[in-house]
Amino acid sequence: MKVCMFHLMPYRDLPADFDQRYNSAFIDPVWFDVADSEKVGQYYNATLDELLYAARAGFHGVCTNQHHQNVYGFMANPSLMGAVLAKETNGQNVAIIQLGSTLPSTTPPTRIAEEYAMLDCISGGRLVAGFPTGLPSDAVISNGVVPIDQRERYREALALVIKSWSAREIFPWNGKHYQLGMVNLWPRPIQQPHPPVWIPGAGISSTAEYVLDHDHCFCHLSYRGFKNAKDVTDRYWEMAAQKGRDDNPYRLSFLQLIGVADSDAEAEDLYAEHAEYFFHKLLYSPLHYQAIPGCLEYGAMVQQLRHNPRTEVDPHDLKAKDFYERGYVVVGSPKTVREQLLDGIKSLRMGHLLALLHFGSMPTEVCKNNIDLFAREVLPYLKDQWDDRYEDRWWPERLRAKRAAPAMAAASMAAAS
């Protein structure tokens, strides 16, 4: 089992009436009305500090991601964050998980191949290469990608990137969306023929199918918790079996919001405002900015229309205790959290848990305490899961050896600070 710290880098200090002033956390909020560059500088630094803190505390990996024009998370270029993390974690047994740069909105996509190769070189072969298609609002609004072209561009771009990493000859790429006469990438990644490829998805079966066809790792980035993800992951494992793939849990990564404190009551109280801030203010994305015609291929669109997401609950109608009860956020004492997580890990068959230990308006001290408690009191109970039977083929090869207990790493960190 691998446990990785995920971070969105949100705006942590929105005005209280933000969700009355705006109908969306994406696109609409005007920078100068709500944000402050000095504060944002602090957020970027705090985000890096928190991820590095998790790395030292014994997490297996640290994750960045790319979003644009919103308050929910704005690592506009995750490679910039990844570069700091790669450099600062040299010598540590930690993967740099870029989850990641969005191919359809970067032209030519060899730019991302170069950035990822740089990260793999800087980190000494510790890169996990994540390739999201990008949220519709990111790709087609912020970056102007034609909606119906988004997935076609993505697939062509990924094929080009992977070829460019390992091709021995200079080659021309005469594609539909990209034409390059002479591709000869400098640098190439240390990991050959390519670093592990992880592909995030929101549960669309065409993405899962693509991931399985190419034997990559599927990352289900849901904010509704493992309790509400079983239908998606069951479909994924069924499809894996149909396609003759094995049941190796490392084929699946899953994101979960988590808050740990000394007792259940303390955790429920401590994380309430941050959970409500996350779901009420940050995750405030109207349908007209995400269900943009063309972003889903025809079959997936029909599938989604049949599923009828309009019946889903509006998070604004829910309070912190509802988010806890419904499993959107796993909160509690270390014992509660590890029991719940182990249930989820087994029930979904996830090999990589992406722990969102910073969410919403959480100040950095609260986040670091969360990381610390998790690393000492939860992680040791999870880490041996699956490893007796399965090898993580979607992990940097140099990091696959059995590692020291995270608690020891945390202790040495405490001694050093």
User: Which residues of the shown chain bind other proteins in the complex (CB under 8 A)?
Assistant: 23, 140-141, 144, 146-149, 152, 176, 286-289, 292-294, 298, 301-302, 305-306
Q: Is the CB of 205 or the CB of 347 nearer to other proteins?
A: 205
Taking the complex as a whole, the smallest distance from the CB of residue 326 to other proteins amounts, in Å, to 26
Taking the complex as a whole, the smallest distance from the CB of residue 173 to other proteins amounts, in Å, to 16
Interior angle at CA 253, CA 251 and CA 255, nearest 5 = 165
Positions of E strands within 91-167:
95-98, 127-130
Nearest to 5 by CA among 71, 66, 52: 52
How far apart are alpha carbons 96 and 396 in whole angstroms?
9
Q: Is the CB of 91 or the CB of 293 nearer to other proteins?
A: 293
Positions of E strands within 111-225:
127-130, 171-174, 179-183, 197-201, 217-220
Taking the complex as a whole, the smallest distance from the CB of residue 308 to other proteins amounts, in Å, to 8
- Please state whether the peptide bond connecting residue 244 to the residue before it is cis, i.e. omega within 30 degrees of 0: no
Taking the complex as a whole, the smallest distance from the CB of residue 289 to other proteins amounts, in Å, to 7
Q: Is the CB of 21 or the CB of 400 nearer to other proteins?
A: 21
Q: Count the Cβ atoms, other than its own, within 10 Å of residue 212.
A: 20
CA distances from 28 to 35, 73, 190, 350 (A): 13, 14, 41, 36
For 106, phi then psi, to 5°, come to -120, 120
Q: Is the CB of 136 or the CB of 189 nearer to other proteins?
A: 136
Which distant-in-sequence residues (6+ apart) come within 8 Å of 387 by Cβ?
1, 402
Q: Is the CB of 135 or the CB of 240 nearer to other proteins?
A: 135
Q: Is the CB of 310 or the CB of 402 nearer to other proteins?
A: 310
Which distant-in-sequence residues (6+ apart) come within 8 Å of 205 by Cβ?
235, 239, 300, 303
Taking the complex as a whole, the smallest distance from the CB of residue 142 to other proteins amounts, in Å, to 10
Q: Which one-letter amino acid corresponds to residue 409?
A: A
Taking the complex as a whole, the smallest distance from the CB of residue 316 to other proteins amounts, in Å, to 16
Taking the complex as a whole, the smallest distance from the CB of residue 292 to other proteins amounts, in Å, to 6
Taking the complex as a whole, the smallest distance from the CB of residue 145 to other proteins amounts, in Å, to 8
Taking the complex as a whole, the smallest distance from the CB of residue 246 to other proteins amounts, in Å, to 32
Q: Count the Cβ atoms, other than its own, within 10 Å of residue 243.
A: 11
Nearest to 277 by CA among 214, 385, 358: 358
For residue 26, the SS3 value is strand
For residue 279, the SS3 value is helix
Q: Is the CB of 302 or the CB of 414 nearer to other proteins?
A: 302
Q: Is the CB of 141 or the CB of 373 nearer to other proteins?
A: 141
Q: Is the CB of 52 or the CB of 204 nearer to other proteins?
A: 204
